[in-house]
Every structure is written in structure tokens, then in C-alpha cells.
Amino acid sequence: MDSLKLSTILLSLLSLAIITQAQDPKYLIYSCSDTTTFTRNSTYQANLNLLLSSLSSNSTRNNINGFYNVSAGKDPDEVYGMFLCRGDVSNSVCRDCVNFATKDMLKKCPIGKVATIWYDECELRYSNRNFFSAEYDSPVFFSNINYVTFEPERFNQLVAITLSNISTRAASAPTGDKKFAVQQANYNLQILRTLVQCTPDLPTPDCRRCLAGAISKLGNCCDGKQGGIVIFARCNIRYELYEFYNATAAAEAVPAPPPVALSPPPASGSETRRKGKVDNDLFNCLVAI
């Protein structure tokens, strides 16, 4: 009987471990400074621990639209940090992603003063420099390793147009609201899915400018690719030929307009690499200065 009870307990613990693992956020990449570092048990590390604790605790709030930024300490040991959750994820998914990120980041970047980590569901960033008011920083690119085979130039054009259209919608949201939009477009019997997002505190002109800058970088990484991501500190864009966001939740967050149709074909005649690791075989990563 005791042996049966022990087996039952072990099986329950194993099942719980499997469930917990399945709920971990989908890791994409991290960026970690190997030139700007801090000493263990230093004032900077103490401030960083306070900052990460603040980010984690504030991720449970329901009135922040998936975004929070904060600083800890005083110069020269001040630390600035933020998290941004994807606009369609629930408060509980956002909380779990941020809590996971605060621990995962310290494992991947134990002594870096400047670090960012991205998952499908959220991103977390901290630095010894104030990036809250920075309009641009060096973007990180992801690109799907697979190319489109049907009229790639028209596909590139469709991606740019669709992203530009939803950038206007996302940027026009009042400051403090979610600056987030998604849209689908038809492409060669497939569905192109696009997403743009700014941090809620970014004013409309700055959000529009940041997203336009991200779209302009697509040619650097994603020409003819089936998917791509460009991430700045204050905004990001993404497109894929598969569903990478929750369409129902996204529609509830920001109602989407009708799908965009691919225009007919024209008549005849007529950066340096940054330290980091990608955990996804479908993507390459480049960083532009």
C-alpha cells in the first residue's frame, strides 16, 4: 500500500512538472552585454534585484495594459527596466511570462548591465542607461529561414502595406491605451498575418515614427522571407504565414478591419551581430546599428 501511495505521489509530481513546463513562455532570443558588466554583490546588482522584483510584482496589476517601466537606485548605479506583453495575451499569461523572464534573464545574463529577453508572449529589458525616452535603439531582427516561392516582390509589398495600415491604427490609440493592432491579408491561397505594437506610453507621432522605422528595416533581414520580426525598445512588428497570435483575443483588444486583398500582377511590359542565442530553428537573427 505504501509503495502504491509513493508511486501515485511521484506520478502526480511528474504530471505537475510536465504541465508547468508546457506553460513556460515560448523563448525567442536574448541580448546580453559582454562589455558592460557589474561585479557580483555590488550596489548595481542590489538595484537590479530590486528592479526585477518590482517588474515581477507589477505584472499582476490589471490596469497597466501589459506594460510597466521603473528605475531603481541612483547614478552611477541606477538601473532602468521595463516589460511589454503582446497585446492579445491575457493578464495571467502576461504575469507568468514576466515572472519567468525575471528569473530566466539572470541565468542567461548573470553579470550584464544591459540585457533584453524576448518570448512570444512578452519582452523584458533593463539597462544602466535611460532608454524610456529614447526614440530609437539598435533593432533586433528575426527572419524565417524559408522563402516565399510565389511572386516574392508582390509579397514584400503586401507585407509593407499591411504593416503600414495597422501602424496608423495602433499609433492613433490614446496614450496609456494598448497601441497594438493585427490584420490578415490574402496571399496565394494562404493567409498573411501581421502585428504591430508600441509601448502604451509612447505618444502617437513617436509610435508612428518608431513603427515606420521598423518597417523600413525589413529589407535588411526579411526580403522574400515567409516571416520576420523587427524589435526596437519601444515598438515591434511581426508577420508570418501562420497564426502566431490569438485572433479572437486580438480582435477583442483592438477590432480589426476586413482582410486586405493582394492586388493583381502588373500588365506585361508595362549590421553587426550581438551576443545572444536563438532557440528556434525557423529563425535567423541579425542586429543592425
Residue spans of the domains in the chain: they are 24-127, 140-264+276-287
Residue 133 or residue 94, greater confidence:
94
Distance CA 289, CA 278 (A): 19
Same fold, 24-127 and 140-264+276-287: yes
Query: Most confidently modeled of 17-31, 170-184, 245-259?
Result: 170-184
Can you state the angle between helices 152-171 and 204-216, rounded to 10 degrees?
170
Options 3.30.430.20, 3.30.70.580, 3.40.50.1000, 1.10.1040.10; CATH of 140-264+276-287:
3.30.430.20
**Mean pLDDT throughout 180-186?**
96
What pLDDT score was predicted for residue 256?
52
Helix, strand, or coil (residue 135): coil
Distance CA 256, CA 248 (A): 10
Residue 272 or residue 238, greater confidence:
238
What pLDDT score was predicted for residue 133?
72
Q: Which three cell numbers stand for residue 91?
A: 493578464
Query: Is 80 exceeded by the pLDDT of residue 97?
Result: yes
**Mean pLDDT throughout 115-130?**
94
Length of the chain: 289
- Report the CATH fold assignment for 24-127: Killer Toxin P4; Chain A (3.30.430)
As a whole-number percent, the residues of the chain with pLDDT over 70 amount to 79
Cis bond upstream, residue 76 (ω within 30):
yes
Sign of the alpha-carbon dihedral angle for 94, 214, 161, 229: negative
Look up residue 24 and give its amino acid. D
Residue 171 or residue 14, greater confidence:
171
